[in-house]
Structure 1
Amino acid sequence: MLSLLVSFVLSFPVYAQVKLRGNLPCEKRYVLAFLDAAPGFYKNEKGIKEGSSYDILMEVGRRLGCKVSEEPGSYSAILDGFVRHRVDITGLTTKSPKMENFGEFVEMYRVPRSLVVRKDSFGVNDSIESILKNPKITFAGIIGGLFFIKESEKEQLFKERRLREVPGPQEVFNALSEGRVQATFSSPAFTAYYLKRQNKLAQFKIIPDEKGEWQSLGFYLSIKRLSKEERQRVRAIISNVRQDGTLLEIEKKYVNPADYIYYEPVALKDVSHIE
């Protein structure tokens, strides 16, 4: 679902000015990193930046009341920048064992993952479990990340040489469409963008992982770059973005109506304080 230093050198940061808090100017500039791939981030036909992750992250930045630097990149570049303490906040992302020692994860929402498998590789009696065990099925994943694949599944697929990792989501679904891999795991936003929006749903079987744990998506806050008080404030902002309905209004642009339920204001665990 993506070295940040390289992206710094190759392109100048894009700066976004946001409203200052009250009459007191905020002198800090927050570095916000996000995956440079649709549906999380892209430019629409008018050249305007948008995306399911980008819109949420910019809303968090706006509510911080300070200047922000936008840092799009590949997952591996973002990971490198985060662990080298060059990024304040990154997201949206699933939990990453590689980021846990450097950041605090704050959940934005949870969604069930789904198995996406080519119909020409799917049997009438197949299930998620049988597809995962099928030696003829190769999965697509993202370099350096899990992309909705569990750590244990990734280890097993690697051991069996049945996991092909690519730079980002576009390459994952390209490999699927071209038959270079037969399956991957996805989420409502990715499935809507890469399959339904591009009229490719008929080529695939989508199996919701109803027995599995729902995938938690959110933000990593840098422990070194952000003080405890700053992280507390960001946590409260993230919670409010969901509770006041802003998250749902944003995601309505990117997911199918049947999936709105995952983004509605609900009584999630309190994330407005430091545990």
Structure 2
Amino acid sequence: MLAWLLILFSLTPSHAQFKFRDPASTPAACEKRYVIAVMNSPPSYFVEKGKKTGVGYDILTEVVRRLQCKYTDMISSNSSLIASFGRRSVDLFGPLLSSAQLAQGEFILTWKLPRYLVVRKDASGSSLPDVKSVVSDSKMIFGNLISGKFFLNEQELTKLFAEKRLKEYPLPEDLMIALKENKIQALFAGPFVLYHYITRSGQADQYHIIEDKTSPLVETGFFMSTTRLSAQERKRIRQVFKEMQEDGTLLKIVKKYLAPESYRHFAGEDLVTRLSSHRYRDLNNSKYFSFDYHEF
């Protein structure tokens, strides 16, 4: 016994395997519960086989997971969530277009996407129409989201409202039902909506789908509340988005909700750090992407 004690106390610090952790160096557990807001409509959010999923839901829950915090989800219509954001009830909201310009919101740009014109073939004929002619056609009724441009620019909105050729709906799902039932004949959409409602459902042969190469690419991303989140918190969230883009997590998530031919729109450089969070830059800059488009 004495021999064992002598051996134990003769160990030098270099031999010892005991490590004492400084409590001050141990990261504190996150005590914040984030409120994440996602529109209650595919492809942003839906329940599949009893599991909550969707491109917006998957991205925001992954952000909070990396922050090692908890969250409460707020799932509702676009107009309702915009109102909740304005009432300072939401921390993170998206995906949205940068043109939403939410008050007290800081925008994180994740992608720049083309917009697509979707037109019923029985309303436009068998020949492929162009964007300008469809927008100018007095017989064409367009659909749009309430409280959102949904890929319509300001001039188009003004024209369609003035000519009483615009019907608004709460959710993308409502828009697509209206299009299917011929309550509207045309709409503009992005690649997520196209894949979920048209490609995946096998309805592509019923519509002309035209990629608009004459308009700017559409800035798409997420808004952070500047009233509920400190500057340090927003900086950390922005860093998490950057990490997710660099390690391929964002691309992995969006691939679940896209047709393979749309992957190219998400293969550009890291736009989170290349563009400002709340100032708009010239979008007609092809160096951000490897494909050739005139530029949501």
Compute the TM-score of the two structures, normalised by the length of structure 1. 0.87
2:130 aligns with 127
Q: Distance in 2 between matches of 1:164 and 1:214?
A: 24
Q: Distance in 1 between matches of 2:214 and 2:190?
A: 15
For residue 270 of structure 1, give the secondary structure of its aligned residue in structure 2.
Answer: helix
2:154 alignment partner, one of 145, 151, 154: 151
Q: Distance in 1 between matches of 2:32 and 2:274?
A: 24
Q: Do the aligned partners of residues 198 and 125 (structure 1) sit closer, same or farther apart at CA in structure 2, a change above 3 Å counting?
A: closer
TM-fit CA distance, 1:125: 6.0
Task: Check the 8 A contact 2:117/2:187 in 1, yes or no.
Answer: yes
Residue 170, structure 1, aligned to residue 173, structure 2:
yes
Give the superposed CA RMSD: 1.8
2:39 aligns with 35
Q: Distance in 2 between matches of 1:272 and 1:186?
A: 23
Q: Distance in 2 between matches of 1:257 and 1:274?
A: 29
Residue 245, structure 1, aligned to residue 240, structure 2:
no
TM-fit CA distance, 1:268: 2.5
Q: List alignment gaps of at least 5 residues for structure 2.
A: 1-25, 279-296
2:111 aligns with 109
Compute the TM-score of the two structures, normalised by the length of structure 2. 0.81
Percent same amino acid at aligned positions? 38
Counterpart amino acid of residue 187 in structure 1:
G
1:222 aligns with 225
Task: Check the 8 A contact 1:56/1:250 in 2, yes or no.
Answer: yes
Q: List alignment gaps of at least 5 residues for structure 1.
A: 1-21
Counterpart amino acid of residue 24 in structure 1:
A
**Runs of 4+ with >6 A deviation:** 272-275
Bigger Rg, structure 1 or 2: 2
1:24 alignment partner, one of 25, 28, 50: 28
Greater Cα offset, 130-139 or 239-248: 239-248
2:64 aligns with 61
After TM superposition, the structure 1 = structure 2 runs for residues 176-215 of structure 1, keeping only pairs within 5 Å, are 176-215=179-218
Q: Distance in 1 between matches of 2:209 and 2:276?
A: 38
Q: Do the aligned partners of residues 128 and 118 (structure 1) sit closer, same or farther apart at CA in structure 2, a change above 3 Å counting?
A: same
Task: Check the 8 A contact 1:110/1:217 in 2, yes or no.
Answer: yes
For residue 228 of structure 2, give the secondary structure of its aligned residue in structure 1.
Answer: coil
Q: Distance in 2 between matches of 1:163 and 1:53?
A: 27
TM-fit CA distance, 1:150: 1.3
After TM superposition, the structure 1 = structure 2 runs for residues 61-80 of structure 1, keeping only pairs within 5 Å, are 61-80=64-83
Task: Check the 8 A contact 1:235/1:272 in 2, yes or no.
Answer: no
